[in-house]
Amino acid sequence: MSFALVGPVYATLRHHLIDVDVALSRSAVVGLVSMFLLVGFGAAEWIAGKLSSALTGQGRWHGLTAQLLSFAAAVAIGLWFRQLHARTESSVKAVVFRERERRLRLLRQFAREADVVDDRNVLVKVTFDALLESLEAADFAIYLADGDAFACVRTAGVSVPERLSKADRLVLTLLRDAACFTNEAELLRGWLVVPLPARTKLVGFLACGPKRDRTGYLPEEVAALESVAQHVGAAYAMLAPALLRMA
């Protein structure tokens, strides 16, 4: 049985099916925070129980009253510790994963700033600069609809196709379901593809290459990129309605 597990474990690590370093580091941080707060919750509940017993005295309904007070105190303490847990976890992550949180903050900030850009060329440039500053990928590209294809208007590398036809499998996947996905087609294989939607149309997409540390994109990173894409797509569509009709 031990040797039977060697193959799946090796395949998982070899092909990075699980980001072990991210999982371990996050599990350690979240686990420690939860453990300390759980100990604090247990201590607070024990103290509340002792106080409830002391406050109810030795009357006829002493036991029932003490239990009711203890239950109410436990509920109140639990609700308070729930909020405290979320805030503490967020603060600890901001310290331990400072660089990652900074990059995410920059992406979220840019998503709001994209709405006020009044020139499509400027919008493409500032979007590219935001990706360059916030992504840990070596390569990424911005594609925009151009007639019956999607043209690469900005790229950080030289390995991306200049144009992608609407007959390509990658584009067909985007047109069928405009949602983020990790591309497994021949073109841009292993890249995270983030569509630039504008209502029911697709004006382009962001292609984000594999990270330098070969880990996958975290859910919060994907969510931040989706927010950027939605703002940029809508803004670009209003600035370039002719291009939107072609898409």
Residue with tokens 């409830």: 52
My answer on whether 55 and 114 are in the same domain is no
- Nearest CA to 159 among 140, 133, 182? 140
> Per-residue pLDDT for 20 more than 50?
no
Tell me how many helices (H) and strands (E) the chain has: 8, 6
Domain boundary pick from 54, 72, 96:
96
My answer on whether 85 and 189 are in the same domain is no
Least confident of 85-94, 154-163, 181-190, 228-237: 85-94
More confident position, 64 or 151: 151
Q: What is the pLDDT of residues 191-209, one digit of tens each?
A: 999 999 988 789 999 999 9
Token pair of 225 as six digits? 């990129």
Number of domains the chain contains? 2
My answer on whether 125 and 171 are in the same domain is yes
Domain, as residue range, for 59: 3-96
My answer on whether 72 and 164 are in the same domain is no
Q: What is the pLDDT of residues 49-68, one digit of tens each?
A: 777 777 666 655 566 677 77
Q: What is the mean pLDDT of residues 162-173?
A: 91
Three-state secondary structure call for residue 91 = helix
My answer on whether 88 and 206 are in the same domain is no
Note the pLDDT of residue 92.
72
Strands (E), the chain: 140-146, 149-155, 163-165, 181-182, 192-198, 201-208
Q: What is the pLDDT of residues 71-126, one digit of tens each?
A: 787 788 778 878 887 787 777 766 666 778 888 889 999 999 999 998 999 999 99
> Per-residue pLDDT for 37 more than 80?
no
- 23-56 exposure pattern, b = at least 16 Cβ within 10 A, e = fewer: eeeeeebeeebeeebeeebeebbeebbeebbeeb
pTM for the full predicted model: 0.64
Domain boundary pick from 96, 119, 153:
96
Q: What are phi and psi of 59, to 5 degrees?
A: -75, -175
The residue type of 178 is A
User: Which residues contact residue 192 at a Cβ distance below 8 angstroms, ignoring those fewer than 6 apart?
Assistant: 180, 181, 182, 183, 207, 208, 209, 217, 222, 225
